[in-house]
Amino acid sequence: MEWLAGGGPIMIPLFICSVLALAVILERAINLRKNNIIRPELVELIHSYKRSEDIQTIYAKCNLIKCPFSNIIKRAIINEHLTREEKVLDIQAVGRQEARGLDRMLIVLEIITAIAPILGLLGTVLGMSQVFDVISEIGLGQTKAFSGGIAQALRTTIIGLSVAIPSLIAYSSFDRKVDTMILDMEKYSMVLLNKLYSVGKHEDVNLRGINKAVPRKGGKE
């Protein structure tokens, strides 16, 4: 603790940054687990879909399971007035919306990654300013007199980089993970959409008939 306290007042915002970064990393590590976002039971239902009647089961399951994946699946099922190409664009648009939700709090890591080294640099400048003030007063004969300023300059730089580097690694990792999961969700939604059209054509049942069988709250989803 004495070593940290020797870094001067800049250690306070650096400490706050480190606590925030750790909290965000732990929260995102827990909530961005793949099984929480892409629920295996929904994937299984998509792969097992064979008849147009099965779509009601999938829709009901999506209403029970609240997650980004279920939201994208429901958009693949409803909006029967859209063409196949429009449905594809709609699924991609919903995927981008869900990505923003999954990316929440990552902005904190991005900000910390940017400001932590700057705070460290500020502490370095303040430390070196203290060193030069002491040198101007007593000269270079007594090194102990200005060693505190040098220590402050080094410590803030070390802590600033120590906070920024893990934050950058975590931000990049979570951001890449979100992109991968969004692509997977869109892929499974396209699998379902292809089955909807192929099954509807095979059974002579169009998507409008399927969607009328899907229950809605207040006429909208």
The half-sphere exposure of 68 on its side-chain side, counting CA atoms within 13 A, is: 29
Residue 197 placed within a domain? yes
Structure confidence at residue 172 (pLDDT): 94
Q: Which amino acid is at 150?
A: I
Residue 220 placed within a domain? no
pTM comes to: 0.73
Contact criterion met (CB below 8 Å) for 79 and 90:
yes
Residue positions counted in the chain:
221
What mean pLDDT is predicted for residues 92-112? 88
Tell whether the model's pLDDT for residue 212 goes beyond 90.
no
The C-alpha atoms of residue 171 and residue 163 are separated, in whole angstroms, by: 12
**Of 164, 162, 167, 165, the residue nearest 109 (C-alpha):** 167
How many distinct structural domains can be found in the chain? 1
Structure confidence at residue 216 (pLDDT): 45
Structure-block tokens of residue 56: 């009601």
Tell whether the model's pLDDT for residue 136 goes beyond 90.
no
Contact criterion met (CB below 8 Å) for 126 and 7:
no
Question: Which is more confident, 99 or 115?
Answer: 115
Instruction: For residue 20, count other CB atoms closer than 10 A to its CB.
Output: 17
Tell whether the model's pLDDT for residue 207 goes beyond 50.
no
Tell whether the model's pLDDT for residue 199 goes beyond 60.
no
Rg, the chain, Cα only = 28
What mean pLDDT is predicted for residues 103-108? 88
Contact criterion met (CB below 8 Å) for 13 and 118:
no
Residue 172 placed within a domain? yes
What mean pLDDT is predicted for residues 4-18? 79
Q: What domain range is 9 assigned to?
A: 2-212
The half-sphere exposure of 119 on its side-chain side, counting CA atoms within 13 A, is: 26
Structure confidence at residue 102 (pLDDT): 86
Residue 81 placed within a domain? yes
Residue 86 placed within a domain? yes
